[in-house]
Amino acid sequence: MERKISRREKECEEKQNNSEGSEQDKDYRTSLITLNVGGYLYITQKQTLTKYPDSFLEGIINGKIMCPFDADGHFFIDRDGLLFRHILNFLRNGELLLPEGFRENQLLAQEAEFFQLKVLSDAVKSRWEKEQLACRETTFLEITDSHDRSQGLRIFCNSPDFIAKIKSRIVLVSKSRLDGFPEEFSVSSNIIQFKYFIKSENGTRLVLKEDNTFVCTLETLKFEAIMTALKCGFRLLTSLDCSKGSIVHSDALHFIK
């Protein structure tokens, strides 16, 4: 025979359920940690900060290292607040992921050492060394006529990324169609070689489409390369062939940052 649940029993059961829910909420709230790093507030989970045993963050969270608090009761760490986002992202992702154009490798390596994250410190230093090596290596792009290699332009730079940028643009516009446009041209790692250049009474014209009505001359391409380099923070170190008296008449340009 079924027994009717008394009002008192029902109230006790609801109270118990609410109590369990409150405990779960409390546990969740205590798993969230707010850090004040150099004036910047970061909220993350306790398990993220304690991911690497014996690190500085794991030490302060687990009470091994004494850390001051700010006026609101948050842990205060007197370090670079902006760079800390990369420290936190590393803890979250388990790998070094930096935005394109990041140039503060040395500072980030120092931050990684302070937070006692050797894996991150080694990754930053490795990235930095590769960038330094790439900067020391001079790369080039040669735009030439397959039948006459003296016709064309050579661009030298200590940044492979810049050379790649110039190269991709030239390949892109070269695929545009014009009357008399030679359909065949080959592209290698550092050379764009046209089947032939369009000749005219005014001199040699490169097979490059600037818009629907204009074909770039070699001199126009040189000016464009210089302006692109300046916008990217490079400077024209020298014209490698100044015998003709002018940059626009030279056969090569050398850029450096």
155 and 110 co-located in one domain: no
78/29: higher pLDDT: 78
238 and 221 co-located in one domain: yes
Q: 225 vs 22, 35, 161, 247, CA distance in Å? A: 65, 47, 14, 12
Q: Determine the Cα–Cα distance for residues 37 and 125; give it in Å rounded to an integer.
A: 23
Structural domain boundaries enclosing 106: 23-134
**DSSP category for residue 239:** E
CATH number for the domain including 76? 3.30.710.10
Note if the pTM is more than 0.85: no
Our count of domains for the chain comes to 2
129 and 155 co-located in one domain: no
Is residue 16 in some structural domain?
no
Task: Give the residue from 85, 136, 89, 138 showing the smallest Cα distance to 107.
Answer: 85
User: What share of the chain has pLDDT > 90, as a percent?
Assistant: 34
pLDDT at residue number 150: 64
Last residue of a domain, one of 134, 153, 185: 134
Strands 32-37 and 75-77: parallel
- Mean of pLDDT values over 65-87: 96
78 and 160 co-located in one domain: no
- Mean of pLDDT values over 60-82: 96
**DSSP category for residue 36:** E
pLDDT band at 148 (very low <50, low <70, confident <90, very high): low
